[in-house]
Amino acid sequence: MGDEEMDGLLSGLNQAQRRAVTATEGYIRVVAGAGSGKTRALTRRFAYLVNELGIPPGNILCVTFTNKAANEMRQRIHLLTGDNDTGYVCTFHSFCVSVLQEDGYAVQYPRSFLVLDNGDIDDMLRVIYEERGLTLRDMTFRDARDMFEIEKLFKKPEYYLDLVDLSLEELHEKYLQAAGTKDILFYGYLYQQKKCFGLDYNDLIKLTLHIFREKPEIRLKWQQRLEYVMIDEFQDIDSLQYELMEVLCGYHKNLFIVGDPDQTIYTWRGADVKYLLDFPEHFPGTKTVMLLENYRSTPQILAAANSLIAKNKNRVEKSLVPTLPDGETVLCHHAESAALEAEWIAAQIAALREKGVPCRDMTVLYRAHYLSRALEDALREKKLPYVIYSGTAFYNRQEIKDALCYLRMIALQDDLSFRRVANTPKRNLGKRRMTFLEEYAEREGCTLFQALERNLDEDICKGTKARAFVDLVRELSGNSAGRSVSEVLGTVLDKSGYERMLRTEGSQERLDNLAELKQSVYEYETTCGEECTLEHYLSHVALFTSADTAEREDKVKLMTVHAAKGLEFPYVFLCGLNEGVFPSRKVSSLAGMEEERRLAFVAMTRAERRLYLSDAEGFNHDGSLRYPSRFLLDIAPPLLEYTRKPKDSLVREAREYIDVSLSALPENRAQAALPEGCRVHHKIFGPGTVVGADAAKGVHVIRFDDLPTPRSISFQAKLERI
């Protein structure tokens, strides 16, 4: 690579970004503030390794946390290197799919295993419920899925040994012998998984780590292959991902991590800010690079965000530095009710729209979905178009699941997909014939598709379109190898009659969703290169989320702050800034309160041009009075412009309420606890001795001199030490 190319690769980078890009060997920690160009640094570093050092892309692993981010990185890297091979630029789960496709044989799993999503698990549950006579009164599907996750991660962490070591017959026997709803469902699920060689998200990392532990030669192969490991959004990493990371960088010891402790908002999902904060202690010799220059938000937005997050103690001390010119003030509004707060937001949106701002440039963020009701009413009143980022995720919509199951039939002919599409569109394969096929498959030890294929000439299949269905699957599975996924998808939707069925029904929205799916497949192919076979696409598509499908319509976006993580919007309205709402009333520790403040910081730093903050008077769901959020009070007053301020008396009451709620948190209660043996005087009970304390309940246990038994006395009670 010549000097000119080298300069081009580093051009436009600030000094800190250059240090991050050119530091290639050893352990590098990049603390990257919001909007500081970390994706640019990551992609340029990848290109630097390839173009300057000559490292083949296939020897680099770059992990991020969403498929959308991974796709964007692949596109940028392709433009920088000109190479269709972009190595392993993917999520942790997607990387594990690649490992298991290559080495799953070590646990008796074929290359063409299924990656199960929630819809697939629900389909399995329907079979189990019917077989064992369970109903939703015993357990809902959602509760069952949650139970599987808890059992796999905590209660039965070695479950995968049953999954991979037991034969299908042994696992079936274990399922039949299970007693109690939980065990019946859990072992029934493992049996269904084994039957179709399916793995869910929890299995992917667990099984990969199991292979690395049990097969040193496979572990060493991957360690030697991955000469450079890069991890984005490191503040979101959990213990299993951390363990996998340690294994992968164990040979070359080249590990580059990027994260922001001020954006750790997923501790409820297992993320731990300590992994980033304590990284230099665990990896001696770590070099730290600070990316603080913000390219996203105006100085006014950053000043308010910096002022807020500075109140957190468990962080790397830093302040975002603005690079953009001055903008408009951070505008605050204190409303008399939630309805009036929503009306004010809708009025501001309407005013921006009149000035020519597109609706898609405006986003309303809130702490919880229930806050959207008043907003929707106000937006409808003003005839402002909006979309809520929630509800049915794109890849869980009926027509998308159907289309993907058709592709799975072509590649795998698995039972889950067969049950979904064999009679969609109608082929006269109703319940009676499906029961016959289920019993035949169970008796003969074959798949449902094979059962249908073997019985095409029998009376049971007369008067059906079964033969046309089998011929379609066989024809497309026979010639799909040389065709693109998008071409196969278009053919199967046409020849199966599925699109014709939707046109007949007049389901234009569902047809539009299929068009969006075709577009997403095409985009996936362009970033994936030659690797994008049908099997490869199917293995990875189950990992996609609704955040990976962008809404292109001109509508105001409504979403939770968690859903907005990693996104940016020209105009942001952060509403519901009330105690008990944001921060949530569920916060029960100082650490939890710091996470809520980080969440507010993330919300504020999504804004590019202007930030709007609002709260409302009234009452919370539990009947308590609504006070302005401590997060509003945390921000230095000169940094905010109020259209309508809360009364001074309300602010005083809010501060008193906040002080009381802080003192009630366990950590502060523990500090308030008196030591055992301490002598005290109570104004009614007289003298006594502290014999214990319960910080969680906020009480001392005191044996008073004149009472026969001890008493529990609140920390708030006045006690004089004697």
Just list the catalytic residues: 38-39, 232-233, 263, 606
What single string gives the DSSP state of each residue in 154-187?
A: IISTTHHHHHHHS-HHHHHHHHHH--SHHHHHHH
Task: Evaluate whether 636 touches 307 at the Cβ level (below 8 Å).
Answer: yes
Task: Evaluate whether 472 touches 496 at the Cβ level (below 8 Å).
Answer: yes
Cα 155 versus chain centre, distance: 23
Closest CA to 572 of 615, 614, 604: 604
Instruction: Tell me whether residue 456 is exposed, middle or buried, using C-beta atoms within 10 angstroms of its C-beta: 0 to 12, 13 to 18, 19 or more.
Output: middle
Q: How open is the CA angle 240-245-251, to the nearest 5 degrees?
A: 140
Q: What are the residues whose beta carbons fall under 8 Å from the beta carbon of 57, sequence distance 6 or more?
A: 46, 50, 77, 81, 83, 85, 86, 87
Q: What are the residues whose beta carbons fall under 8 Å from the beta carbon of 660, sequence distance 6 or more?
A: none
Count the residues in the chain: 722
C-alpha 337/C-alpha 574 separation (Å) is 16
Closest CA to 333 of 351, 348, 311: 348
Give the CA distances from residue 279 to residues 249, 251, 353, in Å, rounded to whole numbers and listed in that order: 14, 18, 46
Long-range contacts of 667-673 (CB under 8 A, 24+ apart): 667/589, 667/590, 667/695, 668/590, 669/695, 669/696, 669/698, 669/715, 670/695, 672/698, 672/715, 673/700, 673/715
| The two three-digit tokens of residue 559, written as one number | 């979403």
C-alpha 303/C-alpha 317 separation (Å) is 15
Helix, strand, or coil (residue 294): strand
Strand spans (E) along 450-568: 556-560
How are beta strands 719-721 and 679-682 bridged, if at all? antiparallel
| The two three-digit tokens of residue 699, written as one number | 């009480």
| The two three-digit tokens of residue 311, written as one number | 């109140």
Task: Evaluate whether 366 touches 576 at the Cβ level (below 8 Å).
Answer: yes
- Cis before 425? omega within 30: yes
| The two three-digit tokens of residue 658, written as one number | 């906040």
Cα 123 versus chain centre, distance: 23
Long-range contacts of 664-667 (CB under 8 A, 24+ apart): 664/698, 665/588, 665/589, 665/590, 665/593, 666/588, 666/589, 666/695, 666/696, 667/589, 667/590, 667/695
| The two three-digit tokens of residue 142, written as one number | 């959602």
| The two three-digit tokens of residue 433, written as one number | 């014939």
Task: Evaluate whether 446 touches 404 at the Cβ level (below 8 Å).
Answer: no
Give the CA distances from residue 166 to residues 104, 149, 172, 192, 414, in Å, rounded to whole numbers and listed in that order: 16, 21, 9, 13, 21
C-alpha 64/C-alpha 88 separation (Å) is 11
Give the CA distances from residue 722 to residues 690, 707, 714, 719, in Å, rounded to whole numbers and listed in that order: 12, 18, 18, 9
How are beta strands 362-366 and 569-574 bridged, if at all? parallel
How are beta strands 711-714 and 699-704 bridged, if at all? antiparallel
